[in-house]
Amino acid sequence: MVSQSNAFYDRLGVKRIINAASWITVYGGSIMPPAVVEAMEEASRWFIDLHELNQKAGEVIARLTGAEAGLVTAGSAAGMVLEAAACMAGSDPAKAWQLPDTTGMKNEIVIHRAHRVNYDHNFRAAGATLVEIGDSSSTREWELDAAINDSTAAVAYIFGPRPSGALPLPNVVEIAHARDVPVIVDAAAMLPPPENLTRYLQQGADMVSFSGGKGVMGPQSTGILAGRADLIEAAYANSAPNSEAVGRAAKVCKEEIAGLITALEMFVDTDFEAVQAGWRAKCAHVAERLDGIPGLRVELLEAEPETEDAWSNFARARIGFTRDWTGQSRDRVIQMLEDGEPGIRVNSPSFEQTINICPVNLRDGEEEIVAKRLMEILAP
């Protein structure tokens, strides 16, 4: 069990919560392992040249992703800003200074409609205009080809929840590269499985952005950008510490770089079969405890990383509210979980009447607290 007191949060009167919702930024993302915090603390005691630190950290990212080059970013969202800026302005300081005004530059980013997520705003933040292809169920290869023109800066590819209707990444790469257009990927929440660190680059993506503060368990405000050397150089030219660029607002400090690199090195050394088994066991515990409550359909969903849906990278316990359910409404249950002591946050998709228990941020023992509280509410 984890310690139940925290001087700082208690002093400010901030309620601590049990996170059964996954790597959600608003709940704090993830908990850094002690070795990551120690690396940050140690890094905090010295001055260094940030260019040198970025260069050396980038070399570690390149080695672990198989990319030509890498860069620590201020999160995957910042990585997307830099991907767009790099493809539009390149390493030209005058163009970097001019962004987000893209006059005289290629400024269109082609994106599947199926990939429109709340984060694609980050491409527009750099000044890009999004050009959509496909619909919610399918996309034709000729649509991609026809959308590419002299103003196309890049084709974007987003691995988020439910990527239905998008062309496979290797096909996108083939079509884009035939027209000399780079493919930029956001795979923020696709780690683990660790194979994804190298997978999209092997499939030909020119740049890939990951979160450092989700499954990698580095500082919440960090990310990983990996890809072609010229594009990473351009991303850095459009990034902090350069004060004359859109990316200046997404600064990464030396402590965060130390934390992210330490976390990444630990991540690639982790036995994820064992981790997945532990996550599954927590979900199984919750599902077994709730089994048999009339009107509910409680399922243990297995991890299915092959679906390339961010939510399927780990097992979950899913509670479905059927028409025969006569207890509290789903939304009331969610509210009661939040209001309890300790508060519990769950994953509740807007498109179905379910509550999902995501195990990745449940610390040992918390699955019992979650199961017990759910029983109090659902089977009083």
Asked if 234 touches ligand PLP (CB under 6 A), the answer is: no
CA distances to 224, 227, 268, 308 from 65, rounded to whole Å, are 10, 9, 10, 18
Structure tokens, 39: 């690396």
Asked if 25 touches ligand PLP (CB under 6 A), the answer is: yes
Asked if 76 touches ligand PLP (CB under 6 A), the answer is: yes
If we measure between CA atoms, which residue out of 21, 18, 1 comes closest to residue 317? 21
Nearest residue to the partner ligand PLP, using Cβ = 75
Kindly identify the residues of this chain, within the stretch 306-365, that bind ligand PLP according to CB under 6 A: 310
- Cis-peptide into 34, omega within 30 deg: no
Tell the residue number behind the tokens 């429109």, with chain if given: 116
Nearer to ligand PLP, 12 or 26 (CB): 26
Structure tokens, 313: 């990278």
Which listed residue (70, 90, 134, 160) binds ligand PLP by CB under 6 A?
160
Nearer to ligand PLP, 81 or 144 (CB): 81
Q: Whole-number minimum distance, CB 136 to ligand PLP, in Å?
A: 17
Report the sign of the C-alpha dihedral through residues 238, 241, 244, 249, in that order.
positive
Which listed residue (16, 33, 119, 255) binds ligand PLP by CB under 6 A?
119
Region of 56-64, 165-173, 182-190, 229-237 interacting with ligand PLP (CB under 6 A): 182-190
If we measure between CA atoms, which residue out of 82, 369, 129 comes closest to residue 247? 82
Tell the residue number behind the tokens 């984060």, with chain if given: 119
Side chain identity at residue 41, one-letter code: E
Asked if 223 touches ligand PLP (CB under 6 A), the answer is: yes
Nearer to ligand PLP, 117 or 131 (CB): 117
Q: Whole-number minimum distance, CB 359 to ligand PLP, in Å?
A: 17
Region of 34-42, 184-192, 301-309, 338-346 interacting with ligand PLP (CB under 6 A): 184-192
Which listed residue (107, 152, 211, 361) binds ligand PLP by CB under 6 A?
211
- Beta-carbon contacts of 124 under 8 Å, excluding residues fewer than 6 positions away, are 84, 130
CA neighbours closer than 13 Å in the CB half-sphere of residue 90: 6
**Continuous segment of H or E residues that includes residue 89:** helix 76-89
Name the residues that contact ligand PLP, by CB under 6 A.
25, 75-77, 117, 119, 158, 160, 186, 188-189, 211, 213, 223, 310
